[in-house]
Amino acid sequence: MAKQRASVKDVAQRAGVSVGTVSNVLNRPETVTERTRQRVETAMADLNFMRNASARQLRAGVSTTVGAILTDLGNPFYTEIARGIEDRLAVDGHALMVCSTDEDPQREARFVRQFAEQGVRGILVTPMVSTPDRLRELATFGIPSVLIDSRSDTHASVGGDHVGGGRLALEHLLAQGHRHIVFLNADKHLQQSRHRLRGAVEAITAAGLDPGTVLQVVNLSQPTASEGEQALIKLLEGPEPRPTALFCINDIVALGVIRGLRTRGLRIPQDVAVVGYDDLYWASELMTPLTSVRQPMRQIGWAAADLLLRDPLGATHTVFPPELIVRKSSDYQRPAD
Amino acid sequence: MAKQRASVKDVAQRAGVSVGTVSNVLNRPETVTERTRQRVETAMADLNFMRNASARQLRAGVSTTVGAILTDLGNPFYTEIARGIEDRLAVDGHALMVCSTDEDPQREARFVRQFAEQGVRGILVTPMVSTPDRLRELATFGIPSVLIDSRSDTHASVGGDHVGGGRLALEHLLAQGHRHIVFLNADKHLQQSRHRLRGAVEAITAAGLDPGTVLQVVNLSQPTASEGEQALIKLLEGPEPRPTALFCINDIVALGVIRGLRTRGLRIPQDVAVVGYDDLYWASELMTPLTSVRQPMRQIGWAAADLLLRDPLGATHTVFPPELIVRKSSDYQRPAD
DNA sequence: TCGCAAGGCTGGATCGTTTCACGACTAGAC
DNA sequence: GTCTAGTCGTGAAACGATCCAGCCTTGCGA
């Protein structure tokens, strides 16, 4: 049953040539006579020859697979990025290996090592704080990497402008008359979180207001719908006056928040306005259509893969501008106090 | 700059042992003295030794990566499956390669070949009609495969019960008094489509009604929101009386349908009821919360990977039962004509 | 003291491909 | 007929790890 796969040797034998010639047909067809090439190709077809990628890579040293280390493949934000990466890789036949870290540095370290052992052509990663250190060493071994959605001085990167995104969101909320806003943020160590916060603060300052009184930051342990809902409940039950607007680190958190507000009979946007981030495809179809900061995820993935394949060493930083999509969840002009 | 990676030979040299011993430390540590093992391990740490997976696989013949060929990584249904697969593979340190076929047989063939050349440990695939044929040959080379969400006599498979799902949906709609139902189906060649249709017909027949008059089937070229909306528009503009209920092949199509109905001022569920499939996480938060047939996607992915790693040859078929989640989009008892 | 067994380690063959120095052959010029 | 310049094709070395037959050492019993 377990028939053996044909090797170049078998092909050579059947075509009556040497293995070197078979290899030439495969890699430098122009150096081989038409006639011999035909013979070899027929033999390959007859035997259903398949190259052994391991042997190939061992000898030639070049790999045709790229590794992507994402935060969570289950999250549509990262999935869209993955799809963009995949599309770019498919252009020149590269394969994609993926894994989810769930923001666990240990897991990340394991995956980095695993990819290195596989000898991948390069690594794309949505990084944590400690990631660049882990990747630097690989670079000395000739394995390049590109950071996605976060930047560092030592690595090339592709991502959105999070400072700008945070600014857009806050400018909008301030213009609507909000003066007590809560930012449901992710881990404060994540660069995206810090940048969006910075943008938010910038917008408040630019409006001549005091960030300390206008903006309250809550850091979620996980940027999920249920964590968002939990955080909301805590806010509502707390002693402080109810915020009039919530800026959520992503649409999924916003989803939980909307659910929570609805359950408690609070009107969106009249009682509380909500703004999300990422503008996932369902944002416009929610019970309360969601205002959100759009990022071109698929393009980001595409660009990252493109950069990795073309020019991974130049520490280029590609930034895609965010776009605010205003929908009903924040479309309400608040009367001045 | 491009420092060379340390090989077993380097490690052996530094530890003052032979390469065979290094290999033993790696693969059969119990056959090596404690002292030598220590020495070798120190040397490995000093040199930051990383196994070369290609060489390893070439010689030992075992691979530690699994390939998954999915219909569309951008679609949350498949993404959840991917996440389930990934979680199972992580248990024993296997890596995952993914790709999206977009239902293009050519692409699928290319990916199958690519995975075969990589010498993957096995292949998981959400198949098309022609897929099993493509995979059969690989099996003779010792590369097993498991079908996801669709079954065949020649392969192991894991998936939902689509006949049952179709039946559930239709039983529900019939019970609500609907007698003119349209099924917005995917490609009629897809097994899921055929099975769900069969279940739907069974339910109608069991209710003593005539499927031919109760159910109209529309096949979408792609199961996307915009295609769903297009199809809806065509239905509404057509000469036939307006259906009172729409059964959609998945929640994304339902999303488009809901958007289309709303745009045209039709009330859901009073004018038209909508039922989706998959129960994606946002289904409950839509403008009109969506009734949907739930499938445990993550579990399905997990089980498929588990089957592949444990017992890929037994042509087992694991089936997960569907569950109907009734929400507002179909929660309306229609008065009898 | 010798023999023997078992444990520990060695060194070379091997996996399938690529690469490269070199040999064989062809054709054209003299 | 010889020489030259190419053109094609050959065959062996190399990539890095694994595996195995066998050598060397050690310790124990006689």
For residue range A27-52, list pLDDT tens digits in order: 999 999 999 999 999 999 999 999 99
Residue B123 domain-assigned (yes or no): yes
Q: What is the number of other CB atoms lying within 10 angstroms of the CB of residue A103?
A: 18
| Average pLDDT estimate for B161-185 | 97
What rounded mean pLDDT belongs to chain B? Answer: 94
Residue B3's pLDDT is 63
Residues of B whose CB is below 8 A from A121? none
Residues of B whose CB is below 8 A from A55? 54, 58
- Residue of higher predicted confidence among B200 and A285: B200
Residue B40's pLDDT is 95
CATH number at residue A194: 3.40.50.2300
B196 with B106, same domain: the answer is no
Residue A160's pLDDT is 96
B20 with B131, same domain: the answer is no
A219 contact B CB<8A? no
Residue A153's identity, in one-letter code, is D
Residue A337's pLDDT is 64
Distance, CA of B230 to chain centre: 26
A124 with A196, same domain: the answer is no
Phi, psi of B319 (to 5 degrees): -125, 130
CA atoms of B59 and B188, how far apart (whole Å): 45
Tokens of A187: 């881990």
B152 with B166, same domain: the answer is no
A75 with A26, same domain: the answer is no
Counting the structural domains of chain A, the total is 3
What is the signed CA dihedral for A101, A107, A109, A114, rounded to 10 degrees?
-90
What secondary structure does DSSP assign to A127-152, as a single string?
--TTHHHHHHHHHHTT--EEEESS-B
Asked if strand D comes closer than 7 Å to B174 Cβ, the answer is no
Local structure of residue A315 (DSSP, 8 states): -
Residue B26 domain-assigned (yes or no): yes
Residue A334's pLDDT is 85
Residue B254 domain-assigned (yes or no): yes
B75 with B198, same domain: the answer is no
Asked if strand D comes closer than 7 Å to A3 Cβ, the answer is no
Say if residue B159's pLDDT is above 70: yes
Residue B313's pLDDT is 78
Low-confidence spans in chain A with pLDDT less than 70 = 1-3, 337
Residue A335 domain-assigned (yes or no): no
CA atoms of A33 and A291, how far apart (whole Å): 64
Residue B1's pLDDT is 41
Asked if strand C comes closer than 7 Å to A9 Cβ, the answer is yes
Q: Which residues pair with residue A123 across a beta bridge?
A: A67, A145
Tokens of A9: 């040797």
Of residues B165, B134, B131, the one with CA closest to residue B148: B131
B262 with B283, same domain: the answer is yes
What secondary structure does DSSP assign to A71-95, as a single string?
S-TTSHHHHHHHHHHHHHHHHTT-E
B176 with B112, same domain: the answer is no
For B263, the domain range is 162-296+323-330
Residues of A whose CB is below 8 A from B55? 54, 58
Residue A102's pLDDT is 93
Residue B10 domain-assigned (yes or no): yes
Quick check: B117 and A79 CB within 8 A? no
CA atoms of A142 and A36, how far apart (whole Å): 37
* Banded model confidence at residue B337, pLDDT cuts 50, 70, 90: low
Distance, CA of B90 to chain centre: 18
Residue B90 domain-assigned (yes or no): yes
A136 contact B CB<8A? no
Q: How far is A202 from chain B (nearest CA, A)?
A: 33
Asked if strand C comes closer than 7 Å to B20 Cβ, the answer is yes
Residue B200 domain-assigned (yes or no): yes
Quick check: B100 and A93 CB within 8 A? no
Residues of A whose CB is below 8 A from B83? 72-74, 100
Quick check: B73 and A86 CB within 8 A? yes
Residue B335's pLDDT is 85
Residue A248 backbone class (left: φ over 0; alpha: ψ -120 to 50; beta: rest): beta
A237 with A304, same domain: the answer is no
Quick check: B114 and A96 CB within 8 A? no
A119 with A139, same domain: the answer is yes
Residues of A whose CB is below 8 A from B96? 97-99
Residue A137's pLDDT is 85
pLDDT of B308-331, one tens digit each?
A: 999 877 789 999 999 999 999 999
Residue A240's pLDDT is 87
Residue A2 domain-assigned (yes or no): no
Q: How far is B147 from chain A (nearest CA, A)?
A: 20
B268 with B241, same domain: the answer is yes
Q: Name which of A54, A90, A100 is nearest B119 (Cβ-Cβ).
A: A54
Quick check: B141 and A54 CB within 8 A? no
Say if residue B267's pLDDT is above 70: yes
In chain B, residues 46 through 75 whose Cβ sits under 7 angstroms from any atom of nucleic acid strand C: 55, 58-59
A76 with A148, same domain: the answer is yes
A142 contact B CB<8A? yes
CATH number at residue A20: 1.10.260
* Banded model confidence at residue B177, pLDDT cuts 50, 70, 90: very high
